[in-house]
Structure 1
Amino acid sequence: MEFRQIQYFMEVAKREHVTEAALELHVAQSAVSRQIFNLEKELGVDLFIREGRNVKLTRIGQMFLEHMEQAMKVIEGAQREIEEYLDPLKGTIRIGFPSSLASYTLPTTISAFREHYPLVKFQLKQESYRNLIDGVNNGEFDMALIGPVPKQEKKLVGTTLFTERIVSLLPLSHPLADRSSIKLSQLRDESFVLFPKDFILREIIVHACEQLGFQPKVSFEGEDIDSIKGLVAAGLGVTLIPEITLVEGFPRSTVKIPIIEPEVTRTVGVIIPKERKMLPTVKLFYEFLKDFFAMLDQYQR
């Protein structure tokens, strides 16, 4: 079994089309077909079902693909580790992050880091809370910024970088818009704009309301912070939102008001795999993250 055969197999499996795979690989279609044939002959099984010009994986082909994807991650990790040990200041860091940290926290941190290490490269991907955890577990990410920091994940190490307030965002025309602070119970009868079910920020808000004996009435849902802000600005409801998402300002026709009784907060931090060794460049950024936010905390105090 040759490395080239695996590459060709994975590209054909991804595209389900031999010609398209050949174009992506910049080789002749006949070369791809020949390598797939040789691989199937060596394994003694059919990996694909041919359907005209298209192909689909057989059940065994799907099983083989899953193993090869894991093997390729190991190979890529080994290549990266060698490259970074040769020069840890030029490595690549793969980071997952949620939408709530996309506009300020992540850009600010990376910008500060690159002032010291300008040649380090980043691969960034926005994901949901559960996908961030799974991505670090399965090796898709070296680390993930996340909020709140999970406590029950046995294969992960979670480090809290800071704790932030969840504040209310109201339309400017709202009767409570002139208050310096409001009690969460004062929003009992309001229409809420929240993330869809299964989003962690929605769970935080719903739990806070339940502690006061009511369920928030959700009139509209938005899958990202900006759409939720926009719906509130349009006067379609109120929301509770991480304060950090409003650092760069908030939409016209809205007002930010702190929540008291109870104060609603979430932890924000970073997760890394417990049993997988960090590459030198990743470790460099991880230590920088902890020092950066510790310094910010001292400054704010």
Structure 2
Amino acid sequence: MELLQLKYFLEVAESQHVTNSAKKLHVAQPALSQAIRRLERELGVNLFEHTGRNIRLTPAGAYLKDRLAPALASIDGIARDIAAFSESERHTVRIDVQAASGIVVDAIALYSAEHPDTRFLISQNEHEPLCDIHVTALASDGSFHGLSASPPDAAVEATFTERIGIAVASRGPRPPEPADLSGLAESRFICLAGSRAFRTLCDELCALAGFTPHIAFESDNPSVVKKMIGLGLGIGFWPEHSWGDLSDYEADLVSLADTRFARTIAIVDSDGEQSPEARRFEEFLIGHIGRIWEKESGQCA
């Protein structure tokens, strides 16, 4: 049985008039009659019987009509649902955030205010294949942190490099600037937990410098980390732009003499085709990060 046959049958069953049904379906009457007869042959039953010049359903035809009507209605509903889903997908942006999450969230908030119909799906799953945009960091060897199997066709759309300094309490002992890492070997370090790429990068750079930091405390809450540093309970590695200002927490950023302490944020396309909405947001995100970098660099100049 073909779906078109069943739709033809249901229309004739409801009107019980072949000529009117043919006009409504925009098909020739002989073609409609042949489709009904072919369906009857396939089912091995008569679906209609003639009463003078009119037709009416046989018991088998009436049974088929009762079974078929909700089924075809459901199929039509699926078609509408698929159309609605497709429309929703056109306005959905999927982002995998492995670095600079605060900046990305701020960019989403600003973009959403101007584009309220846009829907964002944010993940921090390095194995998530269905993403339009990856925000990640480059490892010291230039590979992607957080993308364990970077697609071969992935394109780096933009990169933003920032120095990594030492966050210290505004009050109390302060290392000379730029600070020598060897002078901090006995310090207690406070780390932001969950920032795997940043932590790995700092550990790698410390190892290159012959230095292993003593981690005294970790928290997945940036505000807690800032507050503990501001209270003088330890110091911490801190990127100069992407993690925000420290001044509200009575902490300062001290530059390091070792210029290797830097990281690069990368905006990476998925290897799939981006939707126009994803492309627009990616351009917005790149511009948003660029303005932050320019503003912070201007303040430091």
Q: Into which bin does the TM-score normalised by the smaller protein fall?
A: 0.5 to 0.7
Residue 277 in structure 1 maps to residue 273 in structure 2? yes
Q: Does 1:212 align with 2:209?
A: yes
- The aligned counterpart of 1:163 is 161
Residue 266 of structure 1, CA deviation: 1.0
Mark the structure with the bigger radius of gyration: 2
What is the deviation of 1:121? 1.6
**In 2, distance between residues paired with 1:245 and 1:296?**
8
Aligned counterparts, 1:41-190, within 5 A: 82-83=86-87, 91-98=91-98, 100-102=100-102, 105-110=103-108, 113=111, 117-125=114-122, 127=124, 131=125, 133-135=126-128, 137=129, 139=130, 141-148=131-138, 150-151=143-144, 153-155=149-151, 156-176=154-174, 179-190=176-187
- DSSP-derived class of the 1:201 partner: helix
Partner of 1:287: 283
1:239 matched residue in structure 2: 236
Q: Distance in 2 between matches of 1:282 and 1:120?
A: 13
Three-state SS of the structure 2 residue aligned to 1:110 is: helix
The residue aligned with 1:13 is none
User: CA 1:237/1:123 → structure 2, altered by over 3 Å: closer, same or farther?
Assistant: same
What is the DSSP-based 3-state SS (H/G/I as helix, E as strand, rest coil) of the residue aligned with 2:127? Answer: helix
TM-score by length of 1: 0.57
Aligned residues: 210
Normalising to structure 2: TM-score of the pair?
A: 0.57
The 2-side partners of 1:195 and 1:248 are apart by 15
CA contact (8 A) 1:99 1:126 kept: no
- 236 and 297 in structure 1: CA distance in 2 versus 1, 3 angstrom threshold: closer
> 1:250 and 1:96, CA in 2 relative to 1: closer, same or farther beyond 3 A?
farther
Q: 1:84 to 1:222 in 2, by over 3 A?
A: closer
The superposition leaves residues 138-195 of structure 1 with CA deviations (integer Å, 9 ceiling, x where unpaired) of: x1x3323223474374314333331112121112344225x44312222122111124
Q: Report SS of the residue matched to 2:155.
A: strand
Which runs of structure 2 are paired with 1:191-230 in the superposition (5 Å)?
191-196=188-193, 199-230=196-227
Question: In the TM superposition, what whole-angstrom CA distance separates every residue of 1:7-26 from its partner, at most 9, and x where no partner exists?
Answer: xxxxxxxxxxxxxxxxxxxx
Cα 1:197–1:241 shift into 2, 3 Å = same
Identity score, percent: 18
Q: State the Cα distance separating 1:203 from its structure 2 match.
A: 1.1
Gap regions ≥5 residues in structure 1: 1-74
Structure 2 portions without partners, runs of 5+ = 1-78
